[in-house]
Structure 1
Protein backbone atom coordinates (compact mmCIF):
# COMPACT_ATOMS: atom_id res chain seq x y z
CA UNK A 1 0.00 0.00 0.00
CA UNK A 2 1.04 3.60 -0.47
CA UNK A 3 1.77 5.84 2.48
CA UNK A 4 3.12 9.27 3.22
CA UNK A 5 4.14 11.36 6.21
CA UNK A 6 3.05 14.99 6.21
CA UNK A 7 2.42 18.14 8.17
CA UNK A 8 -1.18 19.29 7.93
CA UNK A 9 -1.56 23.06 8.38
CA UNK A 10 -4.03 24.03 11.13
CA UNK A 11 -7.55 25.23 10.37
CA UNK A 12 -6.77 29.00 10.43
CA UNK A 13 -4.03 28.51 7.80
CA UNK A 14 -6.33 26.27 5.74
CA UNK A 15 -9.19 28.78 5.91
CA UNK A 16 -6.98 31.71 4.93
CA UNK A 17 -5.52 29.88 1.92
CA UNK A 18 -8.95 28.57 0.92
CA UNK A 19 -10.35 32.13 0.93
CA UNK A 20 -7.49 33.25 -1.33
CA UNK A 21 -7.86 30.31 -3.72
CA UNK A 22 -11.70 30.25 -3.92
CA UNK A 23 -12.16 32.99 -6.56
CA UNK A 24 -9.40 31.44 -8.67
CA UNK A 25 -11.07 28.01 -8.52
CA UNK A 26 -14.18 29.59 -10.02
CA UNK A 27 -12.32 30.61 -13.18
CA UNK A 28 -12.35 28.45 -16.28
CA UNK A 29 -8.86 26.94 -16.37
CA UNK A 30 -6.93 23.77 -17.09
CA UNK A 31 -6.38 23.25 -13.34
CA UNK A 32 -7.86 20.42 -11.28
CA UNK A 33 -7.85 21.97 -7.83
CA UNK A 34 -6.87 19.91 -4.82
CA UNK A 35 -9.75 19.96 -2.30
CA UNK A 36 -8.79 21.98 0.77
CA UNK A 37 -9.40 19.08 3.16
CA UNK A 38 -6.57 17.20 1.40
CA UNK A 39 -3.95 19.95 1.72
CA UNK A 40 -0.72 18.88 3.39
CA UNK A 41 3.05 19.36 3.27
CA UNK A 42 4.66 16.02 2.43
CA UNK A 43 7.77 15.01 4.36
CA UNK A 44 8.17 11.51 2.89
CA UNK A 45 6.26 9.42 0.34
CA UNK A 46 6.42 5.63 0.25
CA UNK A 47 5.04 3.97 -2.88
CA UNK A 48 4.99 0.48 -1.44
CA UNK A 49 4.57 -0.41 2.22
CA UNK A 50 3.43 -3.90 3.22
CA UNK A 51 0.38 -3.84 5.53
CA UNK A 52 2.50 -5.71 8.06
CA UNK A 53 5.07 -2.88 8.04
CA UNK A 54 2.75 0.01 8.86
CA UNK A 55 3.04 -0.28 12.67
CA UNK A 56 6.84 -0.41 12.54
CA UNK A 57 6.90 2.58 10.18
CA UNK A 58 4.67 4.56 12.55
CA UNK A 59 6.95 3.67 15.47
CA UNK A 60 10.04 4.84 13.58
CA UNK A 61 8.38 8.09 12.51
CA UNK A 62 7.25 8.64 16.12
CA UNK A 63 10.89 8.42 17.28
CA UNK A 64 11.86 11.06 14.72
CA UNK A 65 8.92 13.31 15.65
CA UNK A 66 9.73 13.00 19.36
CA UNK A 67 13.23 14.30 18.72
CA UNK A 68 12.20 17.35 16.66
CA UNK A 69 10.83 20.58 18.06
CA UNK A 70 7.64 22.20 16.72
CA UNK A 71 8.42 24.34 13.66
CA UNK A 72 7.07 27.87 13.06
CA UNK A 73 5.88 28.11 9.44
CA UNK A 74 3.71 30.03 6.99
CA UNK A 75 2.31 29.37 3.53
CA UNK A 76 3.48 32.12 1.19
CA UNK A 77 3.95 32.73 -2.50
CA UNK A 78 3.64 30.15 -5.24
CA UNK A 79 5.50 28.03 -7.70
CA UNK A 80 5.04 25.63 -10.58
CA UNK A 81 6.50 22.24 -11.37
CA UNK A 82 8.49 21.85 -13.48
CA UNK A 83 8.36 25.62 -14.23
CA UNK A 84 5.82 28.34 -15.09
CA UNK A 85 6.28 28.07 -18.85
CA UNK A 86 5.50 24.35 -18.90
CA UNK A 87 3.54 23.76 -15.69
CA UNK A 88 1.67 20.69 -14.55
CA UNK A 89 1.55 21.42 -10.81
CA UNK A 90 0.75 24.66 -8.98
CA UNK A 91 1.83 24.95 -5.35
CA UNK A 92 2.25 27.39 -2.50
CA UNK A 93 5.55 27.65 -0.71
CA UNK A 94 6.17 26.63 2.89
CA UNK A 95 8.42 29.15 4.61
CA UNK A 96 9.78 29.49 8.11
CA UNK A 97 8.71 32.39 10.30
CA UNK A 98 12.17 32.47 11.86
CA UNK A 99 15.62 31.78 10.37
CA UNK A 100 15.95 28.23 11.74
CA UNK A 101 12.56 27.01 10.54
CA UNK A 102 13.43 25.86 7.02
CA UNK A 103 16.47 23.92 8.20
CA UNK A 104 14.36 22.27 10.90
CA UNK A 105 11.70 21.30 8.34
CA UNK A 106 14.31 19.88 5.95
CA UNK A 107 15.95 17.91 8.80
CA UNK A 108 12.57 16.51 9.84
CA UNK A 109 11.89 15.39 6.25
CA UNK A 110 15.34 13.84 5.80
CA UNK A 111 15.25 12.08 9.17
CA UNK A 112 11.76 10.74 8.40
CA UNK A 113 12.93 9.43 5.02
CA UNK A 114 16.03 7.85 6.62
CA UNK A 115 13.98 6.17 9.35
CA UNK A 116 11.65 4.61 6.77
CA UNK A 117 14.54 3.46 4.59
CA UNK A 118 16.29 1.84 7.60
CA UNK A 119 13.33 -0.49 8.12
CA UNK A 120 13.11 -1.42 4.46
CA UNK A 121 10.45 1.08 3.39
CA UNK A 122 12.11 3.14 0.65
CA UNK A 123 10.91 6.66 0.07
CA UNK A 124 10.37 8.31 -3.31
CA UNK A 125 11.62 11.68 -4.42
CA UNK A 126 14.82 13.58 -4.84
CA UNK A 127 15.78 16.83 -3.16
CA UNK A 128 13.28 18.03 -0.59
CA UNK A 129 11.24 21.07 -1.66
CA UNK A 130 8.58 21.87 0.97
CA UNK A 131 5.33 22.89 -0.69
CA UNK A 132 1.57 22.42 -0.57
CA UNK A 133 0.05 21.31 -3.90
CA UNK A 134 -2.89 23.49 -4.94
CA UNK A 135 -3.71 22.18 -8.40
CA UNK A 136 -2.62 19.92 -11.24
CA UNK A 137 -3.08 20.03 -15.00
CA UNK A 138 -3.37 16.97 -17.25
CA UNK A 139 -1.31 18.79 -19.87
CA UNK A 140 1.56 21.22 -19.56
CA UNK A 141 0.41 24.84 -19.62
CA UNK A 142 2.05 28.24 -19.69
CA UNK A 143 1.12 29.31 -16.16
CA UNK A 144 3.05 32.57 -15.99
CA UNK A 145 -0.08 34.65 -15.35
CA UNK A 146 -1.27 32.15 -12.72
CA UNK A 147 2.10 32.35 -10.99
CA UNK A 148 1.93 36.16 -10.98
CA UNK A 149 -1.51 36.04 -9.33
CA UNK A 150 -0.66 33.31 -6.82
CA UNK A 151 2.67 34.80 -5.71
CA UNK A 152 0.75 37.54 -3.90
CA UNK A 153 -0.42 35.06 -1.26
CA UNK A 154 0.93 35.39 2.28
CA UNK A 155 -0.84 33.36 4.94
CA UNK A 156 -0.80 33.60 8.71
CA UNK A 157 2.06 32.18 10.76
CA UNK A 158 1.42 28.85 12.48
CA UNK A 159 3.29 26.27 14.50
CA UNK A 160 3.68 22.76 13.08
CA UNK A 161 3.18 20.65 16.21
CA UNK A 162 2.66 17.17 14.76
CA UNK A 163 3.22 14.95 11.76
CA UNK A 164 0.57 12.65 10.34
CA UNK A 165 1.13 9.25 8.78
CA UNK A 166 -1.38 8.63 5.97
CA UNK A 167 -2.05 5.26 4.32
CA UNK A 168 -4.00 4.38 1.20
CA UNK A 169 -6.99 2.14 1.76
CA UNK A 170 -9.99 1.28 -0.39
CA UNK A 171 -13.21 3.16 0.35
CA UNK A 172 -16.75 1.71 0.03
CA UNK A 173 -16.65 1.96 -3.74
CA UNK A 174 -13.30 0.15 -3.85
CA UNK A 175 -11.34 3.26 -4.81
CA UNK A 176 -8.14 3.99 -2.92
CA UNK A 177 -8.07 7.03 -0.65
CA UNK A 178 -5.69 8.26 2.02
CA UNK A 179 -6.66 8.22 5.67
CA UNK A 180 -4.76 9.28 8.77
CA UNK A 181 -3.16 6.26 10.41
CA UNK A 182 -1.39 8.17 13.20
CA UNK A 183 -0.87 11.72 14.41
CA UNK A 184 2.50 12.08 16.11
CA UNK A 185 3.39 15.15 18.18
CA UNK A 186 6.70 16.90 17.64
CA UNK A 187 9.11 17.49 20.48
CA UNK A 188 7.93 15.14 23.23
CA UNK A 189 11.49 14.18 24.15
Structure 2
Protein backbone atom coordinates (compact mmCIF):
# COMPACT_ATOMS: atom_id res chain seq x y z
CA UNK A 1 0.00 0.00 0.00
CA UNK A 2 1.04 3.62 -0.40
CA UNK A 3 1.30 5.90 2.61
CA UNK A 4 2.37 9.43 3.33
CA UNK A 5 2.86 11.82 6.21
CA UNK A 6 1.42 15.28 5.65
CA UNK A 7 0.26 18.52 7.18
CA UNK A 8 -3.37 19.32 6.41
CA UNK A 9 -4.38 22.99 6.41
CA UNK A 10 -7.34 23.79 8.68
CA UNK A 11 -10.88 24.47 7.47
CA UNK A 12 -10.44 28.25 7.43
CA UNK A 13 -7.38 28.07 5.18
CA UNK A 14 -9.20 25.61 2.89
CA UNK A 15 -12.26 27.89 2.64
CA UNK A 16 -10.15 30.97 1.90
CA UNK A 17 -8.25 29.22 -0.89
CA UNK A 18 -11.48 27.74 -2.33
CA UNK A 19 -12.99 31.22 -2.49
CA UNK A 20 -9.89 32.59 -4.24
CA UNK A 21 -9.90 29.75 -6.79
CA UNK A 22 -13.63 29.95 -7.57
CA UNK A 23 -13.24 32.58 -10.29
CA UNK A 24 -9.76 31.52 -11.42
CA UNK A 25 -10.12 27.85 -12.31
CA UNK A 26 -10.81 28.61 -15.98
CA UNK A 27 -7.52 30.47 -16.54
CA UNK A 28 -5.99 27.18 -17.68
CA UNK A 29 -8.86 24.95 -18.90
CA UNK A 30 -6.73 21.80 -19.32
CA UNK A 31 -6.07 21.40 -15.61
CA UNK A 32 -7.52 18.56 -13.53
CA UNK A 33 -8.17 20.19 -10.16
CA UNK A 34 -7.49 18.35 -6.92
CA UNK A 35 -10.59 18.36 -4.69
CA UNK A 36 -10.00 20.47 -1.60
CA UNK A 37 -10.73 17.43 0.57
CA UNK A 38 -7.42 15.99 -0.69
CA UNK A 39 -5.30 19.12 -0.10
CA UNK A 40 -2.23 18.54 2.03
CA UNK A 41 1.46 19.41 2.34
CA UNK A 42 3.44 16.18 2.00
CA UNK A 43 6.36 15.60 4.36
CA UNK A 44 7.23 12.01 3.39
CA UNK A 45 5.76 9.78 0.68
CA UNK A 46 6.18 6.00 0.87
CA UNK A 47 5.26 4.15 -2.32
CA UNK A 48 5.34 0.66 -0.80
CA UNK A 49 4.38 0.02 2.82
CA UNK A 50 3.61 -3.56 3.81
CA UNK A 51 0.28 -3.76 5.64
CA UNK A 52 1.96 -5.12 8.77
CA UNK A 53 4.28 -2.07 8.99
CA UNK A 54 1.71 0.74 8.85
CA UNK A 55 1.52 1.09 12.65
CA UNK A 56 5.31 1.09 12.83
CA UNK A 57 5.23 4.00 10.35
CA UNK A 58 2.65 5.76 12.55
CA UNK A 59 4.78 5.23 15.66
CA UNK A 60 7.90 6.51 13.88
CA UNK A 61 6.15 9.62 12.54
CA UNK A 62 4.57 10.12 15.97
CA UNK A 63 8.01 10.19 17.61
CA UNK A 64 9.23 12.74 15.07
CA UNK A 65 6.12 14.91 15.54
CA UNK A 66 6.29 14.78 19.33
CA UNK A 67 9.80 16.25 19.19
CA UNK A 68 8.73 19.20 17.00
CA UNK A 69 6.90 22.41 17.82
CA UNK A 70 3.87 23.75 15.91
CA UNK A 71 4.84 25.80 12.84
CA UNK A 72 2.98 28.96 11.77
CA UNK A 73 2.26 28.70 8.03
CA UNK A 74 0.54 30.58 5.24
CA UNK A 75 -0.34 29.57 1.68
CA UNK A 76 0.99 32.39 -0.48
CA UNK A 77 1.84 32.58 -4.15
CA UNK A 78 2.05 29.70 -6.58
CA UNK A 79 4.39 27.58 -8.63
CA UNK A 80 4.58 24.74 -11.12
CA UNK A 81 6.61 21.58 -11.69
CA UNK A 82 8.81 20.93 -13.57
CA UNK A 83 9.11 24.35 -15.29
CA UNK A 84 7.06 27.34 -16.44
CA UNK A 85 7.49 26.33 -20.09
CA UNK A 86 6.39 22.71 -19.59
CA UNK A 87 4.23 22.73 -16.46
CA UNK A 88 2.42 19.55 -15.44
CA UNK A 89 1.69 20.23 -11.76
CA UNK A 90 0.30 23.51 -10.41
CA UNK A 91 0.66 24.26 -6.70
CA UNK A 92 0.31 26.82 -3.93
CA UNK A 93 3.44 27.84 -2.10
CA UNK A 94 3.76 27.20 1.64
CA UNK A 95 5.36 30.05 3.60
CA UNK A 96 6.51 29.41 7.15
CA UNK A 97 5.97 32.67 9.05
CA UNK A 98 8.55 32.24 11.83
CA UNK A 99 12.18 33.21 11.24
CA UNK A 100 13.27 29.58 11.48
CA UNK A 101 10.00 28.20 10.06
CA UNK A 102 11.38 26.91 6.77
CA UNK A 103 14.17 25.10 8.61
CA UNK A 104 11.60 23.63 11.03
CA UNK A 105 9.31 22.45 8.21
CA UNK A 106 12.21 21.04 6.17
CA UNK A 107 13.58 19.35 9.30
CA UNK A 108 10.18 17.78 10.01
CA UNK A 109 10.11 16.38 6.46
CA UNK A 110 13.68 15.09 6.72
CA UNK A 111 13.07 13.44 10.10
CA UNK A 112 9.84 11.87 8.80
CA UNK A 113 11.79 10.35 5.91
CA UNK A 114 14.48 9.11 8.29
CA UNK A 115 11.83 7.50 10.49
CA UNK A 116 10.47 5.62 7.47
CA UNK A 117 13.99 4.43 6.59
CA UNK A 118 14.58 3.15 10.14
CA UNK A 119 11.40 1.08 9.87
CA UNK A 120 12.53 -0.39 6.56
CA UNK A 121 10.17 1.59 4.32
CA UNK A 122 11.78 3.59 1.51
CA UNK A 123 10.37 7.10 1.24
CA UNK A 124 10.66 9.18 -1.92
CA UNK A 125 13.98 11.00 -1.96
CA UNK A 126 15.06 14.30 -3.44
CA UNK A 127 14.96 17.90 -2.35
CA UNK A 128 12.07 19.13 -0.28
CA UNK A 129 9.88 21.96 -1.57
CA UNK A 130 6.82 22.47 0.67
CA UNK A 131 3.74 22.97 -1.49
CA UNK A 132 0.05 22.15 -1.79
CA UNK A 133 -0.84 20.54 -5.13
CA UNK A 134 -3.83 22.24 -6.76
CA UNK A 135 -4.00 20.66 -10.21
CA UNK A 136 -2.31 18.44 -12.76
CA UNK A 137 -2.22 18.47 -16.53
CA UNK A 138 -2.03 15.47 -18.84
CA UNK A 139 -0.02 17.56 -21.29
CA UNK A 140 2.66 20.13 -20.48
CA UNK A 141 1.43 23.73 -20.65
CA UNK A 142 3.03 27.16 -20.67
CA UNK A 143 2.20 28.52 -17.20
CA UNK A 144 3.13 32.22 -17.29
CA UNK A 145 -0.48 33.45 -17.35
CA UNK A 146 -1.60 30.96 -14.72
CA UNK A 147 1.27 31.95 -12.41
CA UNK A 148 0.52 35.66 -12.86
CA UNK A 149 -3.11 35.11 -11.83
CA UNK A 150 -2.23 32.89 -8.85
CA UNK A 151 0.73 34.88 -7.50
CA UNK A 152 -1.62 37.36 -5.83
CA UNK A 153 -2.89 34.82 -3.34
CA UNK A 154 -1.95 35.51 0.29
CA UNK A 155 -3.93 33.18 2.56
CA UNK A 156 -4.61 33.43 6.28
CA UNK A 157 -2.00 32.49 8.87
CA UNK A 158 -2.55 29.11 10.52
CA UNK A 159 -0.65 26.76 12.76
CA UNK A 160 0.57 23.36 11.61
CA UNK A 161 0.11 21.51 14.87
CA UNK A 162 -0.11 17.89 13.74
CA UNK A 163 1.15 15.47 11.11
CA UNK A 164 -1.43 13.13 9.65
CA UNK A 165 -0.43 9.69 8.38
CA UNK A 166 -2.54 8.62 5.41
CA UNK A 167 -2.84 5.45 3.38
CA UNK A 168 -3.68 5.97 -0.27
CA UNK A 169 -6.14 3.76 -2.12
CA UNK A 170 -6.32 4.03 -5.89
CA UNK A 171 -9.68 5.07 -7.26
CA UNK A 172 -11.86 2.70 -9.23
CA UNK A 173 -10.87 2.69 -12.90
CA UNK A 174 -9.44 6.11 -13.66
CA UNK A 175 -10.84 7.65 -10.48
CA UNK A 176 -8.89 9.77 -8.07
CA UNK A 177 -7.10 8.17 -5.16
CA UNK A 178 -8.82 8.00 -1.82
CA UNK A 179 -6.74 9.15 1.14
CA UNK A 180 -7.60 7.50 4.44
CA UNK A 181 -6.22 9.15 7.59
CA UNK A 182 -4.98 6.47 9.98
CA UNK A 183 -3.42 8.64 12.70
CA UNK A 184 -2.99 12.23 13.80
CA UNK A 185 0.41 12.88 15.33
CA UNK A 186 0.35 16.17 17.27
CA UNK A 187 3.47 18.27 17.19
CA UNK A 188 4.95 18.32 20.67
CA UNK A 189 2.53 15.68 22.04
CA UNK A 190 1.64 11.98 21.89
CA UNK A 191 -0.16 10.40 18.92
CA UNK A 192 -3.82 9.50 18.58
CA UNK A 193 -4.91 6.79 16.12
CA UNK A 194 -8.00 7.41 14.01
TM-score by length of 1: 0.95
1:67-122 CA-partner distances (Å, limit 9, x unpaired): 00000000000001011111001001001112111110000000000000111001
**CA distance in structure 2 between the partners assigned to 1:48 and 1:169 by the alignment:** 12
* Partner of residue 140, structure 1: 140
Shift of 1:25: 2.1
* Partner of residue 42, structure 1: 42
* Partner of residue 67, structure 2: 67
Which stretches of structure 1, 4 residues or more, deviate above 6 A after TM superposition? none
Number of residue equivalences:
188
* Structure 2 residue 184 is the aligned partner of structure 1 residue 183: yes
**CA distance in structure 2 between the partners assigned to 1:84 and 1:112 by the alignment:** 30
**CA distance in structure 2 between the partners assigned to 1:125 and 1:137 by the alignment:** 23
Change (3 A) 1:31 1:96: same
* Structure 2 residue 123 is the aligned partner of structure 1 residue 160: no
* Partner of residue 129, structure 1: 129
**CA distance in structure 1 between the partners assigned to 2:28 and 2:154 by the alignment:** 24
1:45-66 CA-partner distances (Å, limit 9, x unpaired): 0000000000111001100000
Q: Tell me, which stretches of 5 or more residues in structure 1 are unaligned?
A: none
Change (3 A) 1:128 1:39: same
**CA distance in structure 2 between the partners assigned to 1:169 and 1:30 by the alignment:** 25
TM-score by length of 2: 0.92
**CA distance in structure 2 between the partners assigned to 1:56 and 1:126 by the alignment:** 23
**CA distance in structure 2 between the partners assigned to 1:169 and 1:155 by the alignment:** 30
* Partner of residue 30, structure 2: 30
**CA distance in structure 2 between the partners assigned to 1:31 and 1:145 by the alignment:** 13
**CA distance in structure 1 between the partners assigned to 2:11 and 2:20 by the alignment:** 14
* Partner of residue 149, structure 1: 149
Q: Tell me, which stretches of 5 or more residues in structure 2 are unaligned?
A: none
Change (3 A) 1:102 1:28: closer
* Partner of residue 18, structure 2: 18
Aligned alpha-carbon RMSD (Å): 1.6
**CA distance in structure 1 between the partners assigned to 2:102 and 2:27 by the alignment:** 33
